C-alpha cells in the first residue's frame, strides 16, 4: 500500500533521532536493508512489550490493512498518524462486509448516538452507508495521546470533531526515486502526449469524467492517449465507459503494480498525471507527490489537501467542473514548455517540503511534544 511505502521510506530517517522498534505481522517478510537498520518484531509481541517504550506510533489509513493497527491504537493508546480522516470504508468492510451488523451499529452509535443507530439500521435495509458523511474515527481519536496529520484541511476536521489533544501538521514525505520511461512497451507514435492515472481506480478519482473530457480533447488533439495503472473497483464500469467514448485504442491499462520501482518507472513514462478526488476522505496522495518528485505536471481537484499545494506547482480544477479539466488538459497538450515549467515547480516543492530527512525531524519534534504532554498529564 501507499502507507506501507511511506513508512518504509520514513523509518530509516527516524532512527537518527530515536530508538525505534517496528512491529510487523511477518518480520521475516521485511526487506533485509530495513531489517539491518531497525529492530523488527512480531506484532504479537507488541502487547507484551508496550511498557518498554515511551510512545507507540500508529499509522492509520482507510483500508482493511489497518484494522489491526486501529484496534491496537484503541486498546493501547499512543500517537496516531491519520493518513485519512474518514475511516468509514474500512469500518464498513470489516463489519457489514462480513455480516457483523451489530458492530457496525455500535460504531455508528458511538459516533452519532441514537441517530447513528437509526442510520445503521437503514443501511441494513438497503440504504447506502454514509461513507463521506460520518468519519467513524471518533473512538480512535478519543483514545489517542496525540495526532499527526498532513494538511491544515485535516487539522480543521480533527478539531471540529472535538479532539483537544496534541496535534501536529507535518507534510507527507516522499523520497525522490530515479525512474526510466517504459514508453516503448506501449508502442506509441512519437507525437503522443500521454496522460496517466495511478493507483486504485475508484469512483472518487472521477475516471468517468476524465474519459468524457478525454473524448472531447481528442476532437482537436488526436495525439492524446491515457494510461491507467491500478486495480479497477467493481463500481467503476471501466469497459463500458471506454466503449461509450470510443477510446479502446487510446486507453492503455496495465493493472496493479506491486513493485515500487516499476511504479515509479510508469510515472516517468507519462507526460502528465491526473489525480482527481471528489469526494475526498482527507487523504494525502502519495501518487501525486511521486508525480511531482518525478517532475511530471499534475492536475488535481481544488479542495482538501490538494487545494493546499502551490498554485505554480500543479493545475487545480474545481471538483465536477469538466470545462476546467478540459482547459487544463488542452493547456498541457499545447505547450511542452508549460509541462516543463509546472513539472519543475512541483519537483522543487516535493524535494524541499517533502524531503524524508526534513519530515523525520518534524516527526521527532512532534512526538517529543506528545511524549512530554503524556508525562505531564500522567
The predicted-structure confidence for 199-226, as pLDDT tens digits, reads as follows 999 999 999 999 999 999 999 999 999 9
Contacts of 217 (CB under 8 A, 6+ apart): 224, 326, 329, 330, 333
Give pLDDT, residue 311.
96
Give pLDDT, residue 176.
85
User: Is residue 230 within 8 Å of 203, Cβ to Cβ?
Assistant: no
Give pLDDT, residue 208.
97
SS3 label, residue 324:
helix
For 366, other C-beta atoms within 10 Å of its C-beta total: 20
DSSP string, 144-193: -SEEEES-HHHHHHHHHTT--S-EEE-PPP---------GGGGT--TT-E
The predicted-structure confidence for 352-370, as pLDDT tens digits, reads as follows 999 999 999 999 999 999 9
pLDDT for 378 beyond 70: no
For 334, other C-beta atoms within 10 Å of its C-beta total: 13
User: Over the chain, what is the mean pLDDT?
Assistant: 95
**Packing angle between helix 2-14 and helix 356-377, nearest 10 degrees?**
80
pLDDT for 375 beyond 90: no
Confidence of residue 2 (pLDDT cuts 50, 70, 90): confident
Confidence of residue 133 (pLDDT cuts 50, 70, 90): very high
Share of the chain above pLDDT 70, in %: 99
pLDDT for 154 beyond 90: yes
Nearest of 120, 78, 113 to residue 96 by alpha carbon: 120
DSSP code, position 251 = E
- Burial label for 261, CB within 10 Å (0-12, 13-18, 19+), is exposed
Contacts of 289 (CB under 8 A, 6+ apart): 172, 174, 350, 354
Confidence of residue 177 (pLDDT cuts 50, 70, 90): confident
Give pLDDT, residue 377.
64
pLDDT for 73 beyond 90: yes
Cell matching residue 232: 479497477
The predicted-structure confidence for 4-28, as pLDDT tens digits, reads as follows 889 999 999 999 999 999 999 999 9
- Judged by average pLDDT, the poorest of 47-56, 229-238, 367-376 is 367-376
Give me the mean pLDDT over the 137-156 stretch.
Answer: 97
The predicted-structure confidence for 243-280, as pLDDT tens digits, reads as follows 999 999 999 999 999 898 999 999 999 999 999 999 99
CA-angle at 62, arms to 60 and 64, nearest 5°: 90
User: Is residue 354 within 8 Å of 11, Cβ to Cβ?
Assistant: no
Check: pTM over 0.75? Answer yes or no: yes
Amino acid at each position: 500500500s501507499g502507507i506501507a511505502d511511506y513508512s518504509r521510506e520514513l523509518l530509516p530517517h527516524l532512527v537518527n533521532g530515536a530508538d525505534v522498534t517496528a512491529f510487523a505481522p511477518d518480520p521475516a517478510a521485511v526487506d533485509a536493508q530495513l531489517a539491518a537498520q531497525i529492530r523488527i518484531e512480531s506484532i504479537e509481541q507488541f502487547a507484551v512489550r508496550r511498557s518498554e517504550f515511551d510512545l507507540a506510533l500508529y499509522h492509520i489509513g482507510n483500508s482493511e490493512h489497518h484494522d489491526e493497527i486501529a484496534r491496537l491504537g484503541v486498546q493501547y493508546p499512543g500517537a496516531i498518524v491519520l493518513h485519512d480522516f474518514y475511516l468509514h470504508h474500512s469500518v464498513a468492510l470489516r463489519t457489514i462486509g462480513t455480516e457483523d451488523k451489530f458492530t457496525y451499529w455500535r460504531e455508528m452509535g458511538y459516533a452519532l448516538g441514537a441517530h447513528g443507530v437509526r442510520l445503521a439500521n437503514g443501511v441494513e435495509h438497503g440504504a447506502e452507508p454514509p461513507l463521506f458523511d460520518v468519519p467513524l474515527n471518533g473512538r480512535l481519536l478519543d483514545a489517542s495521546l496525540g495526532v499527526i496529520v498532513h494538511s491544515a484541511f485535516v487539522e480543521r476536521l480533527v478539531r471540529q470533531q472535538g479532539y483537544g489533544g496534541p496535534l501536529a501538521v507535518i507534510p507527507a514525505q516522499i523520497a525522490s526515486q530515479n525512474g526510466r520511461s517504459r514508453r516503448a512497451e506501449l508502442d506509441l507514435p512519437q507525437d503522443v502526449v500521454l496522460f496517466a492515472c495511478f493507483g486504485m481506480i475508484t469512483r472518487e478519482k472521477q475516471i468517468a469524467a476524465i474519459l468524457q473530457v478525454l473524448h472531447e480533447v481528442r476532437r482537436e488533439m488526436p495525439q492524446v492517449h491515457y494510461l491507467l495503472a491500478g486495480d479497477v473497483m467493481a463500481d467503476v464500469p471501466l469497459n463500458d465507459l471506454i466503449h461509450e467514448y470510443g477510446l479502446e485504442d487510446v486507453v492503455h491499462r496495465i493493472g496493479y503494480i506491486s513493485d515500487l520501482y516499476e511504479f515509479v518507472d510508469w510515472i516517468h513514462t507519462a507526460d502528465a498525471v491526473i489525480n482527481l478526488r471528489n469526494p475526498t476522505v482527507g487523504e494525502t496522495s502519495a501518487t501525486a507527490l511521486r508525480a511531482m518528485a518525478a517532475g511530471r505536471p499534475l492536475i488535481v481537484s481544488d479542495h482538501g489537501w490538494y487545494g493546499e499545494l502551490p498554485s505554480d506547482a500543479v493545475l487545480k480544477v474545481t471538483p465536477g467542473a469538466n470545462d476546467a479539466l478540459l482547459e487544463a488538459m488542452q493547456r498541457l497538450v499545447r505547450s511542452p514548455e508549460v509541462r516543463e515549467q509546472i513539472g519543475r515547480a512541483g519537483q522543487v516543492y516535493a524535494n524541499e517540503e517533502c524531503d524524508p530527512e526534513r519530515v523525520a525531524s518534524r516527526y521527532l519534534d512532534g512526538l517529543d511534544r506528545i511524549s512530554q504532554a503524556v508525562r505531564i498529564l500522567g
